[in-house]
Structure 1
Amino acid sequence: MTSPKTTSSGLKRKTMSIGELKRRNDASQAARDAEKAAKKS
């Protein structure tokens, strides 16, 4: 069994990357929405 320290740091890294992915996804989604709005007007 791995030590709690290693496990928690691994979890933290995973959570961080998921948050990073979500941020990037939100940013690209916002860019698409802006593009759509620009095309509409």
Structure 2
Amino acid sequence: MREDIAKLLSPARKAKLHESIVAQIKDLIHSKKLVVEDKLP
């Protein structure tokens, strides 16, 4: 039972992490603090 629940929850965590990364990059671009030559951490 726990394994089934863990499998269902894992993709959601990854999706949320991905969405937060995308949101942070968009914020950097829109705030113009990110330049083309800059490297992302």
Question: Considering the TM-score relative to the shorter chain, is it more than 0.5?
Answer: yes
- In structure 1, list runs of 5 or more residues that go unmatched: 1-6
Higher Rg? 1
3-state SS of paired residue (1:38) = coil
User: 1:21 — aligned with what?
Assistant: 15
Taking only the aligned residue pairs, the percentage that are identical comes to 9
SS at match of 1:30: helix
- Select the structure that is richer in helix: 1
Q: Secondary structure at the match of 1:20?
A: helix
Structure number with higher relative contact order (C-alpha < 8 Å, ≥ 6 residues apart): 2
Q: What runs of 5+ residues in structure 2 fail to find an aligned partner? A: 34-41
- For the aligned residue pairs, the C-alpha RMSD in angstroms reads 1.5
Instruction: Flag as ranges the 4+ runs of structure 1 deviating above 6 A.
Output: none
Q: Scaled by the length of structure 1, what TM-score is found?
A: 0.68
